[in-house]
Amino acid sequence: MTILPIDGGRYGTDEMKHIFDDQNRIDAQLKIEGAAALAQSEIGMIPSEAAAAIQETATSGAITARRVSQLEAERDHDTAALVEALAERCPADAKPWVHYGLTSNDLVDTANSMQMRDALQIIELKLSRLASTLADTASRYAALPAVGRTHGQHASIIAFGLKFANWASEMANHLTRMKEMRRRVLICKILGVVGTGSLMGPEAPKVQRSVAARLKLHPATVATQVVPRERYAEYIFWMALTGTTLEKMAVEIRNLQRTEIGEVSEPFRKGQMGSSAVPVKRNPIKSERITSLARMLKGQVGIALDNVPLWHERDLSNSANERFVIPISSILADEMLETMLKIIDELYVNTDRITANLEATGGQIFAEFVLEAMIRKGVPRIEAYTDVQRVAFEANNTGTPYADAIKQDANISSILTPDEIDAIFVPDAHLGASHIIIRDVQEAVRRTISSDV
């Protein structure tokens, strides 16, 4: 019976879920065993023939999750079961050297790093594509005036593309954080029971560096029996922070898709049903899914932080929950990215509605610019502000277009001519530096995607 939706196929891509399946985890730990044996043989710590046999057996594909599970049922220890499954397939002269100088978390933690490494490779590609798509969309709508809202109220005019530029910039920032994070998070730890490399002696750091290089990881500078869990907390926090930006985007898309606003809508394929009862509804279900999954993703951060303060050189209070929080955080973040890519790729932008919404307040969205024009004519700011506000409130009560109300007001019309007033009420004149900002974001996104940091 399937209990978790990520297991049942409802959420999560196959490529991401494969990284965290049982066989892949076991294969990763076996690669560590093989790499450690080769590294040890290179400095004469174990016989080279034994190391070659261990490496060949470990990477043969013959050791299955099913066999490890059978042994674990007897031994009640998953790592011991894996080591036994490896040893039973090795030649007799290699068996004594299997897992030499290692401890469970040399395998567990280093395999975690391998899985996180592969997860980040998948996410990096999608994050880069999303940042690039958002930047291109920003450019497409760089010259489209739209309502800028604060507190849910019409505030002033923006370029519609500026919304996408903001999102593109944050995605690029997440990409930079991810690239910087790799060296801190993707750690190879081969230092034995309490982090001293006791059985391997002074050569332990050399062995660890060799294994790290083979696995494309970074050697631990220092550890106890385990990699410091601050590293995992950073990984999970990064996933949650990225997911929260996706949620921010989703919330804005949901709001802009409201019937009363109607400026964008999610893709709606032929045959799709928006409601089981109301045939005409086109609900923003993908954006709502992102919001929902973000709540679960953010919940993993607290668990990861609680795992940092372990007893002495380690205890097991982190072990069980990390089997959930690392895969779930990765799978959810990937699912949210995948969903947002689908939304943005096919997002419908209703330019007519965007333009019409500028006039929803009868021109009062231009109040900022009326105020500025009066100040430039030498009117003290507080006097100008009072007149602009008074006329706006009166016009709102009477339903008078704001430009007409200004022309009819003795105080303001004595300062501004009709032509000067008409020149203010032109949306395209008030985009400010939007096109420059959007261009700069595009360039920054391109640099970030191509940078190794």
The tens digit of pLDDT for each residue in 182-201 reads 999 999 999 999 999 999 99
pLDDT on residue 35: 98
* CATH superfamily for domain 364-424: Fumarase/aspartase (C-terminal domain) (1.10.40.30)
Q: Report percent pLDDT > 70 for the chain.
A: 97
Element (H, E) at 251: helix 230-256
Q: Which residue has the tokens 């506000």?
A: 389
Per-residue pLDDT tens digits for 328-357: 999 999 999 999 999 999 999 999 999 999
Distance CA 390, CA 398 (A): 13
Q: Which structure tokens are listed for 95?
A: 């068996």
pLDDT on residue 200: 96
Q: What is the largest CA-CA distance in the chain?
A: 103
pLDDT on residue 273: 61
pLDDT on residue 267: 86
Distance CA 161, CA 433 (A): 12
All CATH 1.10.40.30 domain ranges in the chain, comma separated? 364-424
Q: Which structure tokens are listed for 388?
A: 């602009």
Per-residue pLDDT tens digits for 32-41: 999 999 999 9
Question: What mean pLDDT is predicted for residues 437-446?
Answer: 97
Does 113 qualify as catalytic in the annotation?
no
pLDDT on residue 9: 79
Under a CB-based contact definition with an 8 Å cutoff, are residues 35 and 211 in contact? yes
pLDDT on residue 274: 64
Per-residue pLDDT tens digits for 123-136: 999 999 999 999 99
Distance CA 192, CA 205 (A): 11
User: When comparing pLDDT for 276 and 348, which is higher?
Assistant: 348
Mean pLDDT of the chain: 95
Distance CA 295, CA 250 (A): 13
All CATH 1.10.275.10 domain ranges in the chain, comma separated? 1-100
Question: What mean pLDDT is predicted for residues 381-390?
Answer: 96
Does 275 qualify as catalytic in the annotation?
yes
Number of H helices, E strands in the chain: 19, 6
Element (H, E) at 101: none
Q: Which of 151, 312, 414, 450 is catalytic?
A: 151
CA distances from 116 to 181, 220, 331, 375 (A): 11, 16, 11, 57
Question: What mean pLDDT is predicted for residues 263-281?
Answer: 73
Per-residue pLDDT tens digits for 44-81: 999 999 999 999 999 999 999 999 999 999 999 999 99
CA distances from 330 to 3, 365, 410 (A): 19, 43, 64
Per-residue pLDDT tens digits for 288-344: 999 999 999 999 999 999 999 999 999 999 999 999 999 999 999 999 999 999 999
Q: What sign for the dihedral angle of Cα 212, 218, 222, 227? A: negative
pLDDT on residue 453: 74
Helical segments of 141-229, H only:
161-185, 204-215
- Can you tell me whether residue 219 is helix, strand or coil? strand
Distance CA 417, CA 438 (A): 34
Q: Which band of pLDDT confidence, cut at 50, 70 and 90, is reported for residue 415?
A: very high
pLDDT on residue 112: 98
pLDDT on residue 277: 62
Q: Which band of pLDDT confidence, cut at 50, 70 and 90, is reported for residue 6?
A: confident
Q: Is the pLDDT of residue 8 over 90?
A: no
329-343: burial string, b at 16+ Cβ within 10 Å, e else: bbbbbbbbbbbbeeb
Question: What mean pLDDT is predicted for residues 257-280?
Answer: 79
Pick the CATH number of 1-100 from 3.40.50.2000, 2.60.40.420, 1.10.275.10, 3.40.50.10240: 1.10.275.10
Between strands 153-159 and 264-265, the pairing is unpaired
Q: Which of 48, 275, 317, 413 is catalytic?
A: 275
CATH annotation of 101-360+432-453: 1.20.200.10
- Can you tell me whether residue 427 is helix, strand or coil? helix
Q: Is the pLDDT of residue 378 over 70?
A: yes
Number of CB atoms found within 10 A of residue 16's CB: 23
What are the backbone dihedrals phi and psi of residue 147, each rounded to the nearest 5 degrees, phi first? -75, 130
Element (H, E) at 145: strand 145-150
Per-residue pLDDT tens digits for 127-179: 999 999 999 999 999 999 999 999 999 999 999 999 999 999 999 999 999 99
pLDDT on residue 398: 95
pLDDT on residue 268: 76
Q: Which band of pLDDT confidence, cut at 50, 70 and 90, is reported for residue 219?
A: very high
pLDDT on residue 282: 82
All CATH 1.20.200.10 domain ranges in the chain, comma separated? 101-360+432-453
Between strands 348-349 and 264-265, the pairing is antiparallel
Question: What mean pLDDT is predicted for residues 75-94?
Answer: 97
Q: Which band of pLDDT confidence, cut at 50, 70 and 90, is reported for residue 110?
A: very high
Distance CA 130, CA 138 (A): 12
